[in-house]
């Protein structure tokens, strides 16, 4: 009897779809890191003195730090001297429109399915595309400018809005925070900056697509989003990277500042190259993401993590103001030899602060998926409430799911609820679907998306569709 | 002839379950399969549907002129084989109606028919839901999730009514149904009886056969059909149990 295993086998051999490399003449620093490299980097970017100082302080702090080892990951040691810390497309004129962008770059985005031209027309999504380390295209800026919204590359922001950047950069993630954050603070290349003024509701989803390109260039993005009092903004981040044999380091820092009564929604689809089916290559993704919510403010992190060989990432919320709200919705998929150690920290400091954590981990192949979450209720956080739900799904029996919830309560008025479950995608469930005429592939997709439903519905519409697609690509060939 | 099973031998985890089973079902017929616990009734049903976990070690199954064992489970379903599960499984987060629409459209696609749009589909669903007196709330819940035992069984027949198979195998659909539900479900099944559609009913109880009147009754024991007859055989079994057949067989062998 021919079984569905055959089909699955065929699907499994399909390779990472976004594995290609664009040839753009790049100016790249030779590998290595010291104070001189940082000075040159800062000079290249025409940064003010205070920025250089920030970088150097971070670098000196980093030298004294060691890589964290508390995670549940097996990591090949990273040689930080083998990384090149600056790479820019050579042709970099001041661009007024997309027509002026290097056609090769534009073609890359098209291959990725991100036609800027089309996106301009569709859905009203403003796209700030970071190609390698330097921004090459920004659209919709004018429309946003009318409302006083700033949406630009971090490099531009440092030059054009130094007061804002200086005030908030490092205010949520200080450079002393952790090893990777310190490194990022020292050498960050570029990223996005968003400022939404008082009482303004940003009329469109803001989105950025990142892409690692030049070989051996670690990418260190730095993103800062500030929502002033009563402002509202939704930011989308999505990425994909070319096929690569060596491991590539990716250590981003994202800071969110939600001032009184504001709302920030930050959604991510992460699809860095995960390595091949043997576990070779793939991106190391060590990210520090954190938001600070002042009184009556709300921060929502939603992430769909399907890529990277190793993911180390804990988007967190400091609920500083009274009545502030933090939310974390996550889907993390590990297939083949991928490893993920991800989760969140909800730090309740203000009164009546509320947080919700919904984490869905899916492991297939030899994938290892760890949820690590911490809920801290401070001494003064009267009537704080947290609800955590942590579900794991296993596909096959060579993968693993691990859950580490930490809880620290210093105020007895807190209400904390935690639910956890682990399920195996059942042969019987798949057979049930097949018996009704549904193919194995569709059955797996259906079962998995049912499992992730609570997270997907938090994503903006156009992202939800993409996320679902990505999930099915990531899990192709995982049942058999 | 719609289905012809010849000398079927099936193993699961090194245990031989079916040991040379023969059964022929013509279009339009209703066959009841009865037999003691563990005799292999569900195994037969699941092997017909293409369940993983079973190894066919001998014999043949011809369905609608095709070698059924060569077809993947979903192809069998698309070709009109339907099994109502003895224990329907739950699928969290997937709306019952959405599931059914995906299934129906997949079957229609296989047959070269256009997909039903949402409006046409809802019309069909309403009609079939009325037939089985299905609660609207159940249609909107996740597939079988939190359904009571009886609700699950009713949902199976509801799916059958929507998918309109050529060969339906109902594995103990009556167990778990209350008296009223039994009548409703049986009515649903009867309304699907047609000269083109064949039904195999696996049951332990003669009572179901009062409602779904079979053309033939078979006794499955020790992995084989050991006796076949008309509906009076079910009455005889109800009265005497299976011991006498097994004794006769032992006698015949000895
Ligand atoms: N996957 C399997 N692995 C091992 N043994 C199995 C498997 N499936 C069925 N069996 C065994 O085969 C025998 C027949 O099982 P089956 O479920 O077909 O019986 P049944 O006639 O449907 O019984 P019931 O009336 O209780 O539903 C039983 O002894 C059962 O334990
Ligand atoms: Mg059974």
Q: What ranges do the domains of chain A cover?
A: 2-475
Question: What 3-state DSSP class applies to B59?
Answer: strand
Least confident of A75-89, A181-195, B127-141, B194-208: A75-89
Question: Which of B10, B52, B71 to mutate to probe the A interface, most A CBs <10 Å?
Answer: B52
Quote the DSSP letter at residue A369. E
Q: Please say whether the beta carbons of A423 and A437 come within 8 A.
A: no
Closest approach of A477 to chain B, Cα-based (Å) = 17
B52 pocket-lining for ligand 1 (C-beta < 6 Å): no
Q: What is the mean pLDDT of residues B214-231?
A: 93
Q: Kindly give the confidence (pLDDT) of every residue in chain A, 480 residues in length, as a single tens digit, with 9 standing for 90 and above.
A: 333 434 333 333 444 455 545 555 557 788 888 999 999 989 988 899 999 999 999 999 999 998 887 777 777 788 888 888 887 654 434 445 556 555 655 554 554 455 454 433 332 334 455 444 344 334 566 678 889 999 888 888 999 999 999 999 999 999 999 999 999 999 998 888 999 999 999 987 887 544 343 333 457 889 999 999 999 999 988 754 444 545 578 888 999 999 999 999 999 887 777 777 777 777 888 889 999 999 999 999 999 888 777 888 899 999 999 999 999 999 988 887 888 888 899 999 999 999 999 999 888 888 888 888 899 999 999 999 999 999 888 887 788 888 888 999 999 999 999 888 887 777 889 999 999 999 988 898 888 888 888 888 888 776 777 777 777 766 766 665
| Å from CA of B43 to ligand 2 middle | 7
E-state strands within A306-353: 310-313, 316-319, 325-334, 339-348
pLDDT > 70: what percent of chain B?
98
Q: Does B73 reach chain A within 8 Å, measured CB to CB?
A: yes
Query: Could you tell me the pTM of the whole model?
Result: 0.77
Q: φ, ψ for residue A183 (rounded to 5)?
A: -60, -45
Q: A365 Cβ partners below 8 Å, 6+ apart?
A: A277, A334, A335, A336, A337, A338, A395, A396, A398, A399, A478
| Å from CA of B141 to ligand 2 middle | 27
pLDDT at A212: 42
Q: Which residue in chain A has the smallest CA separation from B92?
A: A450
Neighbours of A419 (CB within 10 A): 10
Q: φ, ψ for residue A36 (rounded to 5)?
A: -65, -40
Best residue among B34, B40, B200, B202 to mutate for probing ligand 1, ranked by most atoms within 8 Å of CB: B40
Burial class (CB in 10 A: 0-12, 13-18, 19+), A141: middle
Measured over all CA atoms, what is the biggest interatomic distance in chain B, rounded to whole angstroms?
A: 64
Could you give the CA distance from residue B218 to residue B231 in angstroms, rounded to a whole number? 9
Q: φ, ψ for residue A127 (rounded to 5)?
A: -120, 120
Secondary structure (DSSP) of B30-45: EEEEE--TTSSHHHHH
**C-alpha neighbours within 13 Å on the C-beta side of residue B35:** 26
* B residues 103-132 lying closer than 8 A (beta carbon) to A: 103-104, 106-107, 110
Calculate the average pLDDT of chain B: 91
Report the Cα–Cα distance between both ends of chain B, in Å, rounded: 35
Could you give the CA distance from residue B26 to residue B1 in angstroms, rounded to a whole number? 4
Query: Nearest ligand, CA of residue B221?
Result: 1
Q: Which two three-digit tokens encode residue A260? A: 């009184």
Identify the residue whose tokens are 């049912």: A450
Q: B92 contacts in A (CB within 8 Å)?
A: 450-451
Atom of ligand 1 nearest to the CA of B53: 1
Handedness of CA A436, A394, A76, A305 (dihedral sign): positive
pLDDT at A244: 54
Q: φ, ψ for residue B191 (rounded to 5)?
A: -70, -15
Phi-psi region of A124 (alpha: psi -120 to 50; beta: other; left: phi over 0): left
Q: What is the mean pLDDT of residues B177-206?
A: 92
Predicted confidence (pLDDT) at residue B42 exceeds the cutoff of 70: yes
pLDDT at B20: 94
Question: What 3-state DSSP class applies to A224?
Answer: strand
Sheet strand arrangement including B167-171: B81-84, B167-171, B198-202, B30-34, B216-221, B224-229
Q: Which two three-digit tokens encode residue A153? A: 């590359």
Q: Does B51 reach chain A within 8 Å, measured CB to CB?
A: yes
ipTM of the complex: 0.96
Q: A331 contacts in B (CB within 8 Å)?
A: none
Q: B107 contacts in A (CB within 8 Å)?
A: 437
Q: Which domains does chain B have, with CATH numbers?
A: 3-88+165-253 (3.40.50.300)
Q: Angle at the Cα of A126 (from A120 to A127), degrees rounded to 5?
A: 95
B12 pocket-lining for ligand 1 (C-beta < 6 Å): yes
Q: φ, ψ for residue A266 (rounded to 5)?
A: -120, 115
Least confident of A32-41, A52-61, B23-32, B79-88: A32-41
Atom of ligand 1 nearest to the CA of B220: 21
Q: Which helix (H) or strand (E) holds B200?
A: strand B198-202
Q: Which of B53, B70, B73 sits opposite A435 (nearest CB)?
A: B73
Identify the residue whose tokens are 């509320």: A354
Closest approach of B59 to chain A, Cα-based (Å) = 13
Question: Which of B86, B91, B105, B152 to mutate to probe the A interface, most A CBs <10 Å?
Answer: B91
């Amino acid at each position: 009897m021919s079984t569905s295993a055959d089909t699955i086998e065929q699907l499994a051999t399909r390779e990472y779809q976004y594995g290609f490399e664009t040839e753009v003449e790049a100016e790249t620093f030779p590998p290595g890191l010291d104070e001189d490299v940082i000075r040159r980097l800062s000079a290249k970017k025409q940064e003010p003195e205070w920025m250089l100082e920030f970088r150097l302080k971070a670098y000196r702090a980093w030298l004294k730090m060691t890589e964290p080892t508390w995670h549940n990951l097996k990591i090949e040691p990273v040689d930080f001297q083998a990384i090149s810390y600056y790479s820019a497309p050579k042709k970099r004129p001041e661009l007024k429109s997309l027509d002026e962008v290097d056609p090769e770059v534009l073609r890359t985005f098209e291959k990725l399915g991100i036609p800027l031209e089309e996106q301009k027309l569709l859905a009203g999504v403003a796209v700030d595309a970071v190609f390698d380390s330097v921004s090459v295209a920004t659209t919709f800026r004018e429309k946003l400018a009318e409302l006083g919204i700033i949406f630009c590359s971090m490099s531009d922001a440092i030059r054009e809005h130094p007061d804002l950047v200086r005030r908030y950069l490092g205010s949520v993630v200080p450079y002393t925070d952790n090893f990777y954050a310190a490194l990022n603070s020292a050498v960050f290349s570029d990223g996005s900056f968003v400022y939404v003024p008082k009482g303004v509701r940003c009329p469109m989803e803001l989105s950025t697509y990142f892409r690692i390109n030049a070989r051996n260039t670690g990418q260190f993005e730095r993103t800062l989003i500030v929502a002033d009092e009563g402002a509202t903004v939704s930011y989308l981040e999505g990425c994909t990277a070319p096929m690569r044999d060596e491991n590539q380091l990716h250590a981003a820092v994202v800071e969110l500042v939600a001032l009184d009564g504001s709302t920030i929604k930050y959604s991510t689809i992460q699809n860095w190259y995960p390595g091949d089916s043997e576990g070779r290559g793939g991106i190391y993704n060590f990210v520090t993401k954190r938001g600070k919510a002042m009184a009556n403010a709300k921060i929502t992190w939603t992430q769909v993590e399907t890529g990277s060989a190793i993911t180390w990432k804990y988007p967190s919320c400091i609920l500083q103001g009274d009545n502030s709200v933090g939310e974390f919705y996550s889907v993390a998929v590990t297939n083949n030899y991928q490893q993920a150690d991800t989760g969140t920290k909800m730090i309740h400091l203000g009164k009546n602060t509320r947080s919700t954590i919904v984490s869905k981990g899916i492991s297939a192949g030899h994938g290892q998926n760890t949820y690590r979450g911490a809920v801290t209720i401070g001494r003064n956080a009267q009537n704080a409430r947290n609800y955590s739900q942590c579900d794991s799904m296993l596909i096959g029996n060579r993968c693993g799911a691990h859950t580490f919830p930490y809880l620290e309560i210093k105020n007895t008025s807190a209400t904390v609820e935690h639910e956890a479950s682990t399920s195996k995608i059942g042969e019987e469930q798949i057979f049930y679907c097949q018996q009704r005429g549904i193919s194995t592939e569709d059955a797996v997709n259906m079962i998995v998306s049912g499992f992730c439903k609570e997270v997907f519905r938090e994503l903006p519409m156009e992202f939800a569709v993409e996320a679902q697609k990505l999930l099915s690509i990531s899990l192709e060939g995982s049942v058999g | 002839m719609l289905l012809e099973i010849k000398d079927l031998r099936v193993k699961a985890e090194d245990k031989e379950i079916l040991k040379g089973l023969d059964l022929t079902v013509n279009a339009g017929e209703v066959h009841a399969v009865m037999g003691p616990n563990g005799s292999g009734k569900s195994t037969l049903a699941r092997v017909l549907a293409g369940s993983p976990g079973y190894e066919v070690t001998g014999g043949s199954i011809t369905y609608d002129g095709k070698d059924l064992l060569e077809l993947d489970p979903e192809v069998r379903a698309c070709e009109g084989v339907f099994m109502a599960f003895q224990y329907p499984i739950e699928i969290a987060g997937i709306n019952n109606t959405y599931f059914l629409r995906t299934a129906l459209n997949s079957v229609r696609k296989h047959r070269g028919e256009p997909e039903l749009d949402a409006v046409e589909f809802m019309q069909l669903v309403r009609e079939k839901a009325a037939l089985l007196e299905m609660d609207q709330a159940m249609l909107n819940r996740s597939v079988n999730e939190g359904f009571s035992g009886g609700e699950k069984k009713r949902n199976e027949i509801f799916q059958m009514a929507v998918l309109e198979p050529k060969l339906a195998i109902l594995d103990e659909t009556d167990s778990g149904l209350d008296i009223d539900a039994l009548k409703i479900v049986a009515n649903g099944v009867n309304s699907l009886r047609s000269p083109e559609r064949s039904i195999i009913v696996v049951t332990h109880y003669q009572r179901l056969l009062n409602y779904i009147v079979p053309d033939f009754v078979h006794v499955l024991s020790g992995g084989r059909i050991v006796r076949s007859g008309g509906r009076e055989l079910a009455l005889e079994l109800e009265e005497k149990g299976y011991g006498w057949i097994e004794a006769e067989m032992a006698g015949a062998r000895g």
